Chains A and B, each alone.
Chain A
């Protein structure tokens, strides 16, 4: 029983982390059709901003947390302005490759200006304690992570349903031209989407850093790869799909780790990606995406 609860929490917290990053990808994709592979570098920059804030200003973790969120939002918005505005409305491959290019540029900037080796950033480690509830021992970080993700999803949902900008964003996912005709500025809607994706990246960054305690130039790549997969499983551009995909991946990963013998531990990501390939063969456009006629989207 203890074991089951621990593993469930494992699955939930993995899933929460994937879902946070996947949501950041999905909200940008739903509005401007861009697969933002540089999202992982936004997360990594959050990690570097920790190092910068801690050496320049203060080592108070709560202030650093605010700083991380701010840094991630700022990076996401700046990237939109500098790199992604020029490929707005271009086809999917163009956007994807631009995002890859931006991601390579940022990684190498971290390498040039930071350090090729891991830099210590341990301010958030205190979030990770072992709690004992009755006979069950769980990690406090996993609980925070799961709760924070649920709160973030609820807040995001309220924002998208209740505020004018949120409603404009949902409408933009369906018909961007119509939203512009209704008097919303295209730039503001898209910048808003990037800001939200940055905020989600900041949240994810805090939990990733609490777990790792160090920051590396390439650390954003693996999470965003998994988040990308989560989006694709759920149906690209669908926000509920991104959340569903994230949690499904978390569950799949933990299940595979349990089922596979210890000696085959290195094959867990191969097994996850194999399952993903199977899902895509079953539903090429993802689980929660409606069937769409080809040739309509011109």
Chain B
């Protein structure tokens, strides 16, 4: 079995296993010490993690920044929600829905599959266009896609309820489901990075002309990565709507896009480990700052309420990372590279490189 993989892929399996252990340790810590409201934070973190790992698949390997992931996530969330909500509930929440959307209900599995397939097809259709563009073209067209999808959400209130909440979605997932999905996502993303397609994609991002000259079909590998990352976003969207019970259009827009992109670049977009570390670090940081933002009493001093502090720090992190650490914390390194070097040189160097950022 092991001989089926080459050495990089075997390293990838080890690295993914290490990251999965880390995820499991976090979940374990929650079950031992955590309070109930932590489950919600943890779930949201893992949904973000799915998105950021999905971003890494395309943005990280191809080194082309796309901003449309929130749109795909929103589409999948809405499709899954509309399919799975009981018809009786939809008569109340979506009384004017066209095409008999409020007269049927499907099982959770069927709903998720439909959401994945439709979003994946949307990814394929947009991907066929996107791979023809270069650099800034992809960025702008992905922004265009985000705006188009968002204004459709807002405009078709009969289907999507716009800025109001679409409610009554049964709660299907809990923490164990999303933990499983995150671990699966880490393995898939890492194995894709080390696969021949992933290698070709990374080569094309380093030197597009050079990669073409040795026979890499840049459009084909970009299309594969684009559709794959779309499926990650769709999974995240389904997980999102299967947990929260209500969804609205607002979270699927620029704020979420910036948040996830910041997570990716802080960790380092070239590696899956970077995506995971970036997500965890920013989530922990934001939770701390949100607590400060509400004006808590600290050592007897009542701090003022400071709205906007979390956003401010998010922006500062992006600027500082770009200025001083353009490759992120991890750069090209994955988690097993850290361990490998630790064994060689002792712990000092590597730990300090990310502790100083934390």
Contact = CB atoms under 8 A, between A and B. Distances in A.
Contacts of A210: none
A109 B140 contact: no
Interface string A187-223: 0000000000000000000000000000001000100
Given A266-B155, A281-B129, A107 B319 contact: no
A97 B318 contact: yes
Interface stretch (A53-61, A162-170, A268-276): A268-276
B34 interface: no
A98 B323 contact: yes
Contacts of A280: 133, 137, 140-141, 144
A285 B308 contact: no
Contacts of B308: 107-112, 116, 217
Interface stretch (A44-52, A68-76, A84-92, A248-256): A84-92
Nearest to A264: B155
B326 A266 contact: no
A84 to B, nearest CB: 9
B24 interface: no
A38 to B, nearest CB: 10
Given A92-B136, A294-B134, A295-B209, A225 B319 contact: no
Q: Chain A interface mostly helix, strand, loop or mixed?
A: helix
Interface stretch (B166-174, B309-317, B337-345): B309-317
Nearest to B316: A105
Given A97-B65, A112-B307, A273-B144, A284 B134 contact: yes
Given A229-B140, A269-B151, A94 B129 contact: no
A87 B322 contact: yes
Contacts of A94: 322, 326
Given A96-B139, A108-B308, A277 B129 contact: yes
Q: Chain B interface mostly helix, strand, loop or mixed?
A: helix
Contacts of A110: 308
Given A92-B135, A229-B140, A267-B155, A273 B147 contact: yes
A284 B312 contact: no
User: Residue among A100, A107, A266, A285 with the most chain B CB within 10 A?
Assistant: A100
Interface in B94-119: none
Nearest to B135: A92
B148 A103 contact: no
B201 interface: no
A270 B151 contact: yes
A108 B313 CA distance: 9
Interface string B311-336: 11011111100111010000000000
Contacts of B319: 83, 98, 101-102, 105
Contact of A294 (B209, B309, B317): B209
A22 interface: no
A112 B306 contact: yes
B154 A107 contact: no
A280 B141 CA distance: 8
Given A108-B311, A281-B132, A98 B209 contact: no
B70 interface: no
Contacts of B254: 221
B154 to A, nearest CB: 6
A221 B258 CA distance: 13
Contacts of B151: 266-267, 269-270
A124 interface: no
Size bin of chain A's contact surface: 35 or more
Contacts of A285: 134, 137
A102 to B, nearest CB: 6
B309 A112 contact: yes
Nearest to B137: A284
A106 B129 CA distance: 34
A35 interface: yes
B152 interface: yes
Nearest to B323: A86
A108 B309 contact: yes
Contacts of B133: 280-281, 284
Nearest to A103: B315
A270 B148 contact: yes
B306 A276 contact: no
A232 interface: yes
Contacts of A274: 144, 148
Nearest to A83: B319
Interface of B: 63-65, 129, 132-137, 139-141, 143-145, 147-148, 151-152, 154-155, 207-210, 254, 258, 261-262, 265, 306-309, 311-312, 314-319, 322-324, 326
25 contacts: A87-B322, A90-B326, A92-B135, A97-B261, A98-B318, A100-B261, A101-B319, A104-B315, A105-B312, A105-B315, A105-B319, A106-B315, A108-B312, A109-B308, A111-B308, A112-B309, A116-B308, A229-B144, A232-B136, A270-B148, A273-B145, A277-B129, A281-B129, A285-B134, A294-B134
Name the 4 nearest CB pairs between A and B, nearest first. Answer: A101-B318, A295-B209, A104-B315, A111-B308
